[in-house]
Amino acid sequence: METAGKLDRAVGARAMKPQQIREAAARLFLAQGYGAVSMDAVAREAGVSKATIYAHFADKAELFADLVKEECARQWPDTAMLESEPGDLREALMAVGMVYAELLVSPKGVQTFRMVVAESPRFPELGRAFYDGGPRLIRDKLAAYLARAEAQGKLALGDPRLAAQQFLAMLRCEHHLRALTGLDPAPAPAEIARVVAGATDMFLRAYGR
Amino acid sequence: METAGKLDRAVGARAMKPQQIREAAARLFLAQGYGAVSMDAVAREAGVSKATIYAHFADKAELFADLVKEECARQWPDTAMLESEPGDLREALMAVGMVYAELLVSPKGVQTFRMVVAESPRFPELGRAFYDGGPRLIRDKLAAYLARAEAQGKLALGDPRLAAQQFLAMLRCEHHLRALTGLDPAPAPAEIARVVAGATDMFLRAYGR
DNA sequence: GTCTATAGGCCGATAGAC
DNA sequence: GTCTATCGGCCTATAGAC
C-alpha cells in the first residue's frame, strides 16, 4: 500500500507494525491467556500477517514473555509520597493504600496478576519481574517510611518490614480475591475506600502512639 | 484382559477406570494447566485409551471443571475449633492461622489457587466453588467466633466481618505471593509460624482488651 | 519488511470391532 | 466398557515472491 508506505517514512515510524503487534498481543494475551490465543488471532487483531510477527519476534513464547514483563514493569503506581519525610501518618497510609488497592482490583491489575500466576511455572522470569517490580518494591519503600516514622516517635513497631507486609496484605483483601476469581470484576470505589480505611485504622490502633 | 475383568467384578470396582482417569487428570491439570494438558497425555497417565475417557466424560472442559471443583471442595482445613465457645483467643487465632497459612503455601493449595485464578474467566463455576467453599466459609466462621468473643468482653471490634477479613488477609502474605509466582515454592514452616504469630499479635494489639 | 501460501504436527473427538 | 485406528481441524512456524 503506497500511502501507508509514505506515511511510514513521513513520520519515521519504522517501528509502527511492531508496535501494533505489541499492543494487539498484549490485549489478547492479558485477556485470554497464553494457551488460548493463537498467532493467527494476534495477526488479525494487529492487522498484519503472521509472517510479519515472526519477522520481529522469535516465537510465541518470546512475544508473550516480552509483553507480560513490560506490563509488570509499567503498571505500578507512583509511590513518591513514601520518599518524603513522614507527615500525617493516617493521611499517608490512606493515600498509598488507595492507589495500591485500586490497582489490585483494576482490570489491568487483575489480568496481569492472572497471567503471572498462571504462567510462572513455564515462564519463571515473569514471577521475578512481577514480584521485584511491584510488591517487593512497595513493601521496601513502605518499610523504610515506617521506620523513619518510628524514629520520629510516631509509631511503635517491632519489625518495620513485617508491619509493612501486614498493611499491604490487608489491601490484598477479599475484593482482590473476588476480582481474581471473576465473582466481582469491578468492586465499587466506596467499598475499596472502606477496606483501606479499615486497614489504616487497625494499623494505627496496633502500632500508633 | 481376563484377570483384570475378574478383579473388577471381584471387588465390585465398576468405577475403577473412571477413578484412574480422575486421579491422572487431576495430577496433570493441577500441575500444568488446562491448555497445556492433552487428552492423549491424560490417557497415557491413566493407563487407558482416549476413547475410554470420552465414555465417562463429555469433553475436556467437563473433565477439567469436575476435577478442579472437587479439589476446591476437598482441600479446606478443619475449622471445628471455631465452632466451640471462645477460650484463649491467642491460642485459637494461632491455631486457625497456622492451618490456613500452611494450606495457602502447600503444593496443592498453590496449584488449586493457580488453576482457579487462571481459568475462572472461561470456567466461572470454578471461582464460585473455590470462594464459597473456602475463603468465604472460613471468613464467616471466624467472624462469628470473633463476635462471640466480643460478646464475652474479650475484644472490642467495630465490624466482626471486617476484622476477620483483616486477620485472614494477613495470612495471605508475601509467602503466599512468592509461592504463587514460583519464587519460593516451599517456605520454611518456621517462617510461616513467624507470620502467623505476627498477625495474631497485631490483631490482639488492635482489638484486644 | 511485508505479504500469500503451505508445510508439518498435534489435538479433540469419534467410528467400529470386540 | 474398552480398545485401535483415524478423521478433520487448527496451530506454530517457514518458504518464497515482491
pLDDT confidence bin for B14, thresholds 50/70/90: low
Nearest CA distance, A12 vs chain B (angstrom): 40
What pLDDT was estimated at residue A83? 92
pLDDT tens-digit map of A11-55? 445 678 999 999 999 999 999 999 999 999 999 999 999 999 999
Average pLDDT over residues B125-138: 98
- CA dihedral angle for residue B159, residue B163, residue B165, residue B167, rounded to 10 degrees: 180
Can you tell me whether residue B3 is helix, strand or coil? helix
Dump strand ranges (E) for chain A.
none
Q: Which residue's CA is nearest to the C1' of nucleotide C14?
A: B51
Burial group, residue B88, by CB count within 10 angstroms (0-12, 13-18, 19+): exposed
pLDDT tens-digit map of B70-118? 999 999 988 888 998 888 999 999 999 999 999 999 999 999 999 999 9
* A54-CA/C4-C1' distance, Å: 15
> Which nucleotide is closest to the Cα of B36 by its C1'?
C11
B6-10, B125-129, B167-171 — which is least confidently predicted? Answer: B6-10
Q: Are A68 and A112 in contact (CB under 8 A)?
A: yes
Higher-scoring residue by pLDDT: B191, B13? B191
- Residues in Cβ contact with A111 at an 8 Å cutoff, skipping those fewer than 6 apart: A30, A31
Reference B193, options B79, B107, B101; nearest CA is B101
Residue B13 has pLDDT above 90, yes or no: no
**C-alpha Rg value of chain B to the nearest Å:** 21
Average pLDDT over residues B138-146: 98
* A208-CA/C5-C1' distance, Å: 70
What pLDDT was estimated at residue A37? 98
* Rounded Cα–Cα distance for residues B138 and B195 (Å): 19
pLDDT tens-digit map of A101-136? 999 999 999 999 999 999 999 999 999 999 999 999
What pLDDT was estimated at residue B3? 40
Instruction: Report CA-CA distances (Å) from B110 to A176, B37, B132, B164.
Output: 17, 18, 17, 22
- Residue among A100, A196, A200, A202 with most chain B CBs within 10 A, to mutate: A202
Reference A86, options A151, A139, A137, A148; nearest CA is A148
Q: Which amino acid is at A150?
A: E
Can you tell me whether residue A38 is helix, strand or coil? coil
What pLDDT was estimated at residue A13? 58
CB contact under 8 A, A165 and B177: no
> Which nucleotide is closest to the Cα of B52 by its C1'?
D2
What pLDDT was estimated at residue A11? 47
Contacts of A178 in chain B (CB under 8 A): 131
Residue B60 has pLDDT above 70, yes or no: yes
What pLDDT was estimated at residue A131? 98
The C-alpha angle with vertex A109 and arms to A34 and A19, in degrees rounded to 5, equals: 60
What pLDDT was estimated at residue A155? 97
- Residues in Cβ contact with A25 at an 8 Å cutoff, skipping those fewer than 6 apart: A37, A42, A45, A46, A63, A64, A67
CB atoms within 10 A of CB A157: 17
What cell numbers appear for A191 in the block? 467499598
Average pLDDT over residues B10-33: 86
pLDDT confidence bin for A10, thresholds 50/70/90: very low
The nearest alpha carbon in chain B to A128 belongs to: B183
* Rounded Cα–Cα distance for residues B108 and B120 (Å): 18
Place of cell 487483575: A110
pLDDT confidence bin for B1, thresholds 50/70/90: very low
The torsion region of residue A131 among left (phi > 0), alpha (psi -120 to 50) and beta comes to alpha
The nearest alpha carbon in chain A to B169 belongs to: A170
Question: Among residues of chain A, what percentage have pLDDT more than 90?
Answer: 87
* Residue B41: CB less than 7 A from any atom in strand C: yes
Residue B4 has pLDDT above 80, yes or no: no
Residue A9 has pLDDT above 80, yes or no: no
* B113-CA/D10-C1' distance, Å: 30
What cell numbers appear for A180 in the block? 481474581
* Rounded Cα–Cα distance for residues B40 and B38 (Å): 5
Please state, rounded to an integer, the average pLDDT across all residues of chain B: 93
Place of cell 480505611: A197
* Rounded Cα–Cα distance for residues A24 and A46 (Å): 5
The torsion region of residue A24 among left (phi > 0), alpha (psi -120 to 50) and beta comes to alpha
Can you tell me whether residue A155 is helix, strand or coil? strand
* Rounded Cα–Cα distance for residues B4 and A120 (Å): 41
Contacts of A116 in chain B (CB under 8 A): 181
Residue B68 has pLDDT above 80, yes or no: yes
